[in-house]
Chains A and B, each alone.
Chain A
Amino acid sequence: MEQALAGIKVLDLTHYIAGPYCTKMLADYGAEVIKIEKPGGGDVARRMAPFLGDDPHPEKSGLFLYLNTNKRSITLNLKSKRGVLIFKELVKDSDILVENFSPRVMPDLGLDYENLERLNPRLIMTSISNFGQSGPYRDYRATEIVADAMGGWSTIIGHPDREPLKPGGNQAQFVAGLFGAVGTMGAFYGQEATGTGQHLDISIMDAVLYIQMNITSMYSYDQVIRKRYGNRVWPFPGGILPCKDGYIGAITVTAEKWPILCHWMGMPELIEDPRFLTANERSEHVDELDAIMISWLVQHDAEELFREAQKRGLPFGLPASTKMLLESRHLEERDYFVEVDHPVTGRIRYPGAQVKMGNLPYELKRAPLLGEHNEEVYRDQLGYSKNDLVKLREQGVI
């Protein structure tokens, strides 16, 4: 039985996080992904922490290893004329091309969509960039924190009287990468029926906005500017609060959970307490409510609170560290983490499948070494001889 995306040929010009996550989704579900890297250094993510043993070796970056599973790697210098010609040969044979350079790069190389479309009219080209391929901020610089701020994410995280917070990690970039995968699949599905390719323009700033629940609609409908509420799930009681051995997500979320919580805490008199009865009342007395809940929570461990809450139909959550995730019995029984072997790092556990495609096969094959598939692709696929390859290497083309 073949994987869902078997036979789809993807040419991967991406680097760092957003682009590679898009092509990782395609690769992990069966597409043949050829990753093009700069000769010498390769993908910049190879130089990003965390490294195995904190050794900054280009084959030991955990981020790179995770993002580039199931791909083949060739080196190619697009700044050379010969490199561009070879690239065009590869494009002719590809269904999909993904890139996440800043918007001037591909046109400056003569590799914008209009040019590539002539070579291959069925090509789906997906471009992921910070602010999109057009608009006043097109050439602006951005990093994760900038995308989080400008996309409307930071405005809703943090304590009301302190600076807004970015979400931990590199969320905006992963989100944009996943949108890249969704859009690319949609466009490819359409192309398989009509034969017409097209160009997808994905902006990381737009991506952050698209996943918002409703802050802009809330402003338009209610003239309310949604701001940050710290750890509260406003307007409901609770949030992440201290407990005996750490923190617990004392989540109630809907109004009918409140009496259940009061009974459990042994404080049934709170159910009808006017200070906590409506959303408006609670906003005024929220510190008092937190204090009452904390006084009870600090008598119990997080794990106990989580289990007991769930038994009572309360959607409490345990704020898990990475250690707790790796020790989770639930995740272990689901075989969520997958061990991947690698010639330089040995066996390491990686996060596994994002979706389970029924009975179709799934395998996490390791990320490629830099230029590992030069022979396979240039010789077997493009027909270059061994001598050709030696010359190309000497000329710095590969």
Chain B
Amino acid sequence: MPKLPLEGVRVIDLSMWFAGPMAGRLLADMGAEVIKIESLRHIDPWRGPVSAAVIRERFPNRVVSDRPYDCSPGFNLQNRNKYGITLDLGTDMGKELLQKLVGIGDVVLENYSPRIMANFGLDYPALKKVNPGIIMMSLPALGRTGPDKDCLAFGQTIDCLSGMAYLTGYIGEEPMLQSGLSYGDPLSGMNAAFAVIAALRARRRSGKGLHIDLSQVEGVIAFNADAVMDYTMNGRVRQRIGNRHPSMAPHGCYRCKGEDSWVVIAIPSDIAWQRFCGVMGQPSWTGHERFATTLSRYQHQDELDRLIEVWTLKHDHYEVMRILQQADIAAGPVLDAKELLEEPHLNQRGLFEAVAHPEAGTHPYIGMFARFSKTPISIRMPAPRVGEHNQYVFGELLGLSEEEMAQLKEQGIIGNTPFEVQQGGMY
């Protein structure tokens, strides 16, 4: 079996929720040994409410074992390929054990607000003393410096502060959230994974560790660079244009046959427009002067879109895609979760991987972000149950004896079952 790209790299992951864990997921997917640390007082909120009763009320169809916090779909997707341990960093013993782990680690991942690591005595200067080569990756929402650095920000806050919300929405209407996707989180996770690997590479040459950090908000701003440049070059403030395009027409989202079923179509040129008219059966309206050129179609988009929808409403959305793609036109169905799981292209390419989880059962999970030809990456392990790898990490890696581990368990510093005190959590 060829070595995976990041085999041999050990990551100590203190992060929770989505941003840090996304970085950990990417590194783990590429073969790094990612050790995720949770406290029994405060397990990763993405595991959901501790109470099975609450879960049954909110998610009546979910199959929940007597460890409902091990049965969260979001947590189990984001934390596959990782080892899971528990540790109470509020105790001296907990801090000491973490330092021991840092001593045998390469990377520390954390997404707390800047004060917290210092309060724990675990900021970069402290970790560097334990391991001079350690690479520490911090993912605060607004960065480690600046007047707003202590702002409390969730994904939707970042949608707003980064400018993403202002640029998303129906034409001429209110800004919209990327509801259902905390966009800043995965972007930061990806930027962090990139930075960590770059730092590992740099350390190979220099022998030195680094404290790397980013701002989640800034990660999203970069992805709207064209809007930023329009302002810095021309003083123009970009507005929301819905599903429209700055220059293409037709370009939009059209209703199809069936319940809440849609297709998107993008026509970049007069030649493509001719093919499109042909495919629709050359309805007489297409011959009108109003629709003859891109510019005139652009000016009459409202009417154009209504007329196109008369045609799309006659067809299933996959059918529209097939008909238009056969005529070399860019079109595709708006797919929902059920359709995505059944998607023929994705299934043929093996994007979903069926994984058996000891508490949650077997489910398909979104697999890898890239195919690696010589070192194929995949889901090797399901997401860890709370404290699942305590024996491996404390016993094998750190060499603690059975008695020492039993004592820690008694003191509640390590364990497998979270305490009853829990916050409401995301769901």
- Bitwise, A233-258 to B at CB < 8 A (1) or not (0) is 11100011010000101010111100
Chain B residues within an 8 Å CB radius of A141: 325, 328-331
Binds A, one of B33-41, B276-284, B398-406, B418-426: B418-426
Interface residues in B376-427 (C-beta closer than 8 Å to A): 423-427
> Once the chains bind, are A224 and B59 in contact (CB under 8 Å)?
yes
Between A182, A207, A219, A321, the greatest number of chain B beta carbons within 10 A of the residue's beta carbon is seen for A182
Cα(A334)–Cα(B216), bound, Å: 13
Between B146, B167, B176, B253, the greatest number of chain A beta carbons within 10 A of the residue's beta carbon is seen for B176
Given A50-B226, A224-B61, A334-B215, is A354 in contact with B191 using a C-beta cutoff of 8 Å? Answer: yes
Given A231-B176, A350-B232, is A222 in contact with B243 using a C-beta cutoff of 8 Å? Answer: no
Smallest Cβ-Cβ distance to B348: which chain A residue: A135
Whether A265 is near chain B, meaning CB under 8 Å from some CB there, is no
Whether B126 is near chain A, meaning CB under 8 Å from some CB there, is no
B115: min CB distance to chain A, Å? 14
Chain B residues within an 8 Å CB radius of A163: 243, 252-255, 262
Cα(A218)–Cα(B71), bound, Å: 11
Chain B residues within an 8 Å CB radius of A119: none
> Once the chains bind, are B201 and A152 in contact (CB under 8 Å)?
no
Cα(A357)–Cα(B61), bound, Å: 45
Given A4-B199, A247-B175, is A206 in contact with B214 using a C-beta cutoff of 8 Å? Answer: no
Smallest Cβ-Cβ distance to B254: which chain A residue: A163
Chain B residues within an 8 Å CB radius of A221: 59, 61-63, 71, 73, 360, 363
> Once the chains bind, are A182 and B142 in contact (CB under 8 Å)?
no
> Once the chains bind, are B229 and A182 in contact (CB under 8 Å)?
no
Whether A9 is near chain B, meaning CB under 8 Å from some CB there, is no
Chain A residues within an 8 Å CB radius of B145: 333-334
Whether B1 is near chain A, meaning CB under 8 Å from some CB there, is no
- Bitwise, A345-376 to B at CB < 8 A (1) or not (0) is 10011111111111110000000000000000
B261: min CB distance to chain A, Å? 10
> Once the chains bind, are A149 and B201 in contact (CB under 8 Å)?
no
> Once the chains bind, are A50 and B175 in contact (CB under 8 Å)?
no
> Once the chains bind, are A153 and B181 in contact (CB under 8 Å)?
yes
> Once the chains bind, are A355 and B194 in contact (CB under 8 Å)?
yes
- Bitwise, B56-78 to A at CB < 8 A (1) or not (0) is 01110111000000010110111
> Once the chains bind, are A198 and B153 in contact (CB under 8 Å)?
no
Chain B residues within an 8 Å CB radius of A276: none
A234: min CB distance to chain B, Å? 7
Chain B residues within an 8 Å CB radius of A151: 335
Chain A residues within an 8 Å CB radius of B161: 317-318, 320
Given A66-B225, A182-B193, A350-B232, is A157 in contact with B178 using a C-beta cutoff of 8 Å? Answer: yes
Interface residues on B, range: 35 or more
Q: Quick one: which of B346, B360, B372 contacts A200, CB cutoff 8 A?
A: B372
> Once the chains bind, are B229 and A63 in contact (CB under 8 Å)?
yes
B63: min CB distance to chain A, Å? 8
A45: min CB distance to chain B, Å? 10
Chain B residues within an 8 Å CB radius of A313: 152
Q: Quick one: which of A63, A113, A162, A228 contacts B180, CB cutoff 8 A?
A: A228
Chain A residues within an 8 Å CB radius of B372: 183, 187, 198-200
> Once the chains bind, are B176 and A315 in contact (CB under 8 Å)?
no
Cα(A146)–Cα(B8), bound, Å: 39
Chain A residues within an 8 Å CB radius of B227: 168-169, 322
Chain B residues within an 8 Å CB radius of A326: 228, 231-232
Across the A-B interface, give the 6 residue pairs with the lowest CB-CB distance, nearest first: A62-B229, A317-B160, A168-B167, A190-B5, A255-B424, A156-B180
17 additional contacts (CB under 8 A) given A4-B198, A254-B424: A63-B225, A132-B371, A137-B325, A140-B332, A159-B170, A165-B253, A192-B201, A200-B372, A206-B346, A219-B341, A239-B177, A240-B177, A253-B156, A253-B426, A255-B423, A320-B161, A356-B214
24 A–B pairs (Cβ distance < 8 Å), ordered by A: A50-B229, A140-B330, A149-B253, A153-B181, A157-B168, A162-B170, A167-B168, A169-B226, A175-B190, A189-B6, A193-B8, A216-B337, A219-B338, A221-B61, A227-B260, A227-B336, A233-B156, A240-B177, A310-B152, A317-B157, A317-B158, A351-B218, A351-B228, A356-B212
